[in-house]
A and B are shown apart, each in its own frame.
Chain A
């Protein structure tokens, strides 16, 4: 057994897993508060990548100005979508809302194609590019920094959920909407808040994912891999997204290097089926989740 190789593979897997986890958090925030599975999260992530590209390459802003602006743009999009598309769907069947988010994904992909064209693009290099060695093990710098940023953002999300007023309101709403409402929590605002936070997170993730793999109108597919992550972790659990993301990243990396790239998806989906059989609500999910 080549331990160095195994360590490197595991580190690469965890790095990729951190990005899954971050995008997973975006899924969870919305599901937790509003019980909506937002399938457009991949496209919102893509839009984040493009907005960043537009601000840096098009408007000539510095990278450090562009990142917060991209996140703000994500937040604004979240509020807009919630108020115009999701709020009117309140009370409709979950499938209808689900379909609205699929439609939203197609619209966003279309807008990006119209605005930036269909060519794949590379984001300007902003992540340090000096190779990182942990002991003797090599870690790709972009993946390592991406993972660190993802970890910080996730930590931020956890702290905000736990201690901020909005976070407490969101958790209360998630626990019992009726009770939260009667305690004076503005449930509508909580819905907006959750979409805002989730889309901001997704847009931020888009910048990192785009920095690693480049951006294209089809990069929304990334959201689909993340759907697996949150189903494994539990749709309404931030901790689940974190553990699910790291687990899937690790499984993919190990399967890819020891079995071959064609086994990556096979391994991931076998794991998904296995987890669903043992814990149908995901590793950390609440039992009452209604599956679609």
Chain B
């Protein structure tokens, strides 16, 4: 009996010292590698900060990641390998496809919460995806933030959507159209480009016919946005060009060359070089890495931060680290200060953080600069 009790105490003590594992299916190669490399570094840096400060209640966080090449089957294989070899409480997934594929398994295991590189609107449903969350606004919410800004700047404006023919690209199009009508804006053209298309001349011709006041790109990282804008400007189009999160990294926009000037878009996080107000976490990042870090880095960094915050709150409440408990703790996050990564205090009542700001590229300073206040949907 005494042995048994001792054994139980031992087990608990062991559990208390056990490392907490953050697993990751990370696209370090392939089409999304530009983001994967940043995310990877961001997660590592935040965990280093936490671990150097003694971990969470004395427990260190271990990061176990595998490269997926941005392929769903490879992501699933990485998930199975990592969760098979470690007791994983937190997981970072690389795509919408993976998030949807792994969801039943995530629920069956019930041992972890997951976030990732996808801001798919579909995932923003706590009933269907109870153990997942998005570390920012979903793509439809990004469209919402952009269109609110447009409606304020030019009521009744006409808009065109240009998007890639991928799950990522198609995501916010139908709800975006609905939202535009609600805001009194007109969607005059929807142009879809096949993935990997090089030449977009015919699409630009189509855009010129529609003559939109604003053009929103979605589902791209860089190409074919620059060529699109360049040709449109050559044809004398006056449209304003906008993008969503993954096409908003400063180094990417800079690569657009002439086309970059005036390019706008929505960003939930502050840029690496943003010195406005107090931002202890941004200071820390600049200290750890003196060279520019991408918005993907910020995304990885803040995801790790929100995940560890959920762990901390669960352990503080002396609860077991299960998926349900972690998610419940995550949802208690209210007016939370991310140390300046998000520009305003954030809350996560559901699966997303519907906050963002419009930035515009300034060709002289070669930087995305704020063009609006922080916009919080639902407020």
Query: Chain A contacts of B226 at CB under 8 A?
Result: 122, 214
Known contacts being A113-B33, A141-B234, A221-B196, is A261 close to B191, with CB within 8 Å? yes
Query: Chain A contacts of B36 at CB under 8 A?
Result: 118
Contact between chains at A140 and B204 (CB < 8 Å): yes
Which A1-45 residues have C-beta < 8 A from chain B?
Answer: 5, 8-9, 12-13, 15-16, 19
Known contacts being A12-B205, A138-B235, A213-B223, is A261 close to B199, with CB within 8 Å? no
Question: In whole Å, how far is A150's beta carbon from the nearest beta carbon of chain B?
Answer: 12
Number of A-B contacts (CB under 8 A): 118
A214 and B220 alpha carbons, distance in the complex (Å) = 13
Question: In whole Å, how far is B78's beta carbon from the nearest beta carbon of chain A?
Answer: 18
Which A210-266 residues have C-beta < 8 A from chain B?
Answer: 212-214, 216-219, 221-222, 252-253, 256-257, 260-262, 264-265
Q: Report if A120 contacts B (CB, 8 A).
A: yes
Q: Report if A119 contacts B (CB, 8 A).
A: yes
Q: Mark B202-237, 1 if CB is under 8 A from A, else 0.
A: 111110010000000000011110110011001100
Query: Chain A contacts of B235 at CB under 8 A?
Result: 131, 138
Question: In whole Å, how far is B188's beta carbon from the nearest beta carbon of chain A?
Answer: 15
Number of interface residues of B (CB under 8 A): 40
Question: In whole Å, how far is A223's beta carbon from the nearest beta carbon of chain B?
Answer: 11
Contact between chains at B221 and A9 (CB < 8 Å): no
Contact between chains at B194 and A265 (CB < 8 Å): yes
Query: Chain B contacts of A143 at CB under 8 A?
Result: 199, 201
Contact between chains at A261 and B203 (CB < 8 Å): yes
Contact between chains at B255 and A122 (CB < 8 Å): yes
Q: What residue of chain A has the Cβ atom nearest to residue B190's Cβ?
A: A260
Question: In whole Å, how far is B164's beta carbon from the nearest beta carbon of chain A?
Answer: 9
Q: Mark A114-129, 1 if CB is under 8 A from B, else 0.
A: 0001111110010001
Question: In whole Å, how far is A108's beta carbon from the nearest beta carbon of chain B?
Answer: 13
Contact between chains at A8 and B199 (CB < 8 Å): no
A240 and B45 alpha carbons, distance in the complex (Å) = 55
Which A96-136 residues have C-beta < 8 A from chain B?
Answer: 110, 113, 117-122, 125, 129, 131
Q: Mark A138-149, 1 if CB is under 8 A from B, else 0.
A: 111111000000
A142 and B223 alpha carbons, distance in the complex (Å) = 15
Which B247-301 residues have C-beta < 8 A from chain A?
Answer: 251-252, 255-258
Q: What residue of chain B has the Cβ atom nearest to residue A249's Cβ?
A: B199
A141 and B258 alpha carbons, distance in the complex (Å) = 15
Contact between chains at A256 and B203 (CB < 8 Å): yes
Contact between chains at A19 and B29 (CB < 8 Å): no
Contact between chains at A218 and B31 (CB < 8 Å): yes
Partner of A218, one of B30, B192, B197: B30
Which B2-60 residues have C-beta < 8 A from chain A?
Answer: 28-31, 33-34, 36-37
Q: Which of B37, B193, B223 is most buried by chain A, counting CB atoms within 10 A of its CB?
A: B223
Q: Which residues of A contact B (CB under 8 A)?
A: 5, 8-9, 12-13, 15-16, 19, 110, 113, 117-122, 125, 129, 131, 138-143, 209, 212-214, 216-219, 221-222, 252-253, 256-257, 260-262, 264-265
> Can you list 12 A-B pairs, Cβ within 8 angstroms, ordered by A?
A13-B202, A19-B198, A110-B29, A119-B34, A140-B234, A212-B199, A213-B199, A213-B223, A253-B201, A256-B202, A261-B191, A261-B194
Given contacts A16-B201, A143-B199, 16 further A-B contacts (CB under 8 A): A8-B205, A12-B199, A12-B202, A13-B202, A16-B199, A19-B198, A110-B29, A120-B221, A129-B234, A140-B199, A140-B227, A214-B223, A217-B33, A222-B196, A257-B205, A262-B165
